[in-house]
Amino acid sequence: MVAKNLQDTTTLHNGVKMPWFGIGVFKVEDGPELVHAVKTAIKHGYRSVDTAAIYGNEVGVGQGIREGIKEAGISREDLFVTSKVWNTDLGYESTIAAYETSLKKLGLEYLDLYLIHWPVEGKYKDAWRALETLYKEGRVRAIGVSNFQIHHLEDLMKDAEIKPMVNQVEYHPRLTQKELQAFCREHGIQLEAWSPLMQGQLLDNEVLQEIANKYNKSVAQVILRWDLQNGVVTIPKTTKEHRIVENASVFDFELTEEDMKRIDGLNQNHRVGPDPDNFDF
Ligand SMILES: NC(=O)c1ccc[n+]([C@@H]2O[C@H](COP(=O)([O-])OP(=O)(O)OC[C@H]3O[C@@H](n4cnc5c(N)ncnc54)[C@H](OP(=O)(O)O)[C@@H]3O)[C@@H](O)[C@H]2O)c1
């Protein structure tokens, strides 16, 4: 079922509800602009925030959350907060310690979702055991992975006690990830899109522009709507209030089957980020 509004949720395989739509804060420096962006998103109805230890901005995200929920008159439980363990911290003890550090920086008692950021060979299984421990102890509401290909998921699940609830990957009309999505669906793993707007590089695409004109929407809105109609959680990044509002105004139109296929047809298996099968960090 397609999300009906900004606060609508998908139910993860453990029953936890995760908003279909959120705000990402990659490359946003810790400071007033970041705090303002998080607060503004909450003010406009966003209920999900995606950060990571490596972004170096968990302190500001935490401040934005505290101020944002106070101003909006909501509570921490109304929000869904995600962070990720960085590659250098992958290991059993070190991942648990990294979780504590993220919580401290964010000023939160728990996270809604904690992800292994990248599938570093030889390391992600120990990190996964740590995430399972945190989950079983009730310290985090859901656990998952990021940038995992099918073979990484198969390898992880061979030894895992708990299946990942989410896989957050690069996903946009130039990288439609059909096989990975089918695999995730089959295993009850929710797919989540990072760089849904291809970091802004798709906004002048002619096909998307033509479709956008037809619905009287922006290209960004068409792409984000395509995510939702494909059953993919999406977390576009912007610090600008008018774009925070624009990006979330995607619940008042529906792309036809034909337009969905035209957008799918833009796929070139093209990445703007690193290749999960060939990275050196
Ligand atoms: N797990 C991972 O490995 C991973 C990797 C990358 C990203 N992520 C997550 O995914 C989130 C989103 O990805 P992303 O930040 O790489 O890229 P993105 O959301 O695809 O694109 C962000 C860029 O698009 C611009 N933009 C946003 N809305 C717009 C609009 N309506 N019209 C025109 N331009 C617009 C933003 O500029 P302004 O800010 O100037 O508006 C920014 O330059 C990240 O913030 C992060 O939370 C995760």
Does residue 225 sit within a domain?
A: no
Kindly state if the Cβ of 273 falls inside 6 Å of ligand 1: yes
Kindly state if the Cβ of 31 falls inside 6 Å of ligand 1: no
Span from the CA of 25 to the centroid of ligand 1 (angstroms)? 7
Confidence of residue 33 (pLDDT cuts 50, 70, 90): very high
Span from the CA of 103 to the centroid of ligand 1 (angstroms)? 24
pLDDT of residue 1: 81
Confidence of residue 118 (pLDDT cuts 50, 70, 90): very high
pLDDT at residue 221 tops 90: yes
**pTM for the complete prediction?**
0.98
Q: Are 89 and 54 in contact (CB under 8 A)?
A: no
Does residue 198 sit within a domain?
A: yes
Does residue 253 sit within a domain?
A: no
Kindly state if the Cβ of 271 falls inside 6 Å of ligand 1: no
Span from the CA of 235 to the centroid of ligand 1 (angstroms)? 8
Does residue 115 sit within a domain?
A: yes
Residues whose CB falls within 8 Å of the CB of residue 196, separated by 6 or more in sequence, listed in order: 171, 172, 223, 224, 227, 234, 235, 236
Kindly state if the Cβ of 63 falls inside 6 Å of ligand 1: no
> For the chain, how long is the longest CA-to-CA vector?
53
Does residue 56 sit within a domain?
A: yes
Annotated catalytic residues are 55
Q: Are 142 and 18 in contact (CB under 8 A)?
A: yes
Could you give the angle at the alpha carbon of 88 between the alpha carbons of 84 and 94, nearest 5°? 75
Span from the CA of 196 to the centroid of ligand 1 (angstroms)? 7
Kindly state if the Cβ of 247 falls inside 6 Å of ligand 1: yes
Q: Which domain holds residue 181?
A: 14-203+231-248
187 assigned to a ligand binding site: no
How large is the average pLDDT for residues 219-235? Answer: 98
Pairing of strands 166-170, 140-146: parallel
Total count of domains within the chain: 1
pLDDT at residue 173 tops 90: yes
- Look at ligand 1, atom 21, and give the residue with the nearest C-alpha: 199
pLDDT of residue 168: 98
What does pLDDT average to over the chain?
Answer: 98
CA-247 nearest atom, ligand 1: 31
What would the pLDDT profile of 146-159 be if each residue is shown by its tens digit? 999 999 999 999 99
- For residue 71, the cross-strand partners are none
At residue 77, what is the residue type?
Answer: E
What would the pLDDT profile of 58-110 be if each residue is shown by its tens digit? 999 999 999 999 999 999 999 999 999 999 999 999 999 999 999 999 999 99
CA-26 nearest atom, ligand 1: 45
- Look at ligand 1, atom 4, and give the residue with the nearest C-alpha: 194
CATH number for the domain that contains residue 107: 3.20.20.100
Pairing of strands 9-11, 17-19: antiparallel
Does residue 279 sit within a domain?
A: no
CA-203 nearest atom, ligand 1: 33
Does residue 163 sit within a domain?
A: yes
Kindly state if the Cβ of 221 falls inside 6 Å of ligand 1: no
- Look at ligand 1, atom 13, and give the residue with the nearest C-alpha: 195
Does residue 177 sit within a domain?
A: yes
- The percent of residues above 70 in pLDDT, for the chain, comes to 100
Q: Distance between CA atoms of 42 and 35, rounded to whole angstroms?
A: 11
Pocket test for ligand 1, best of 174, 194, 201, 247 (most atoms within 8 A of CB): 194
pLDDT of residue 41: 98
| Residue scoring higher pLDDT (14 or 1) | 14
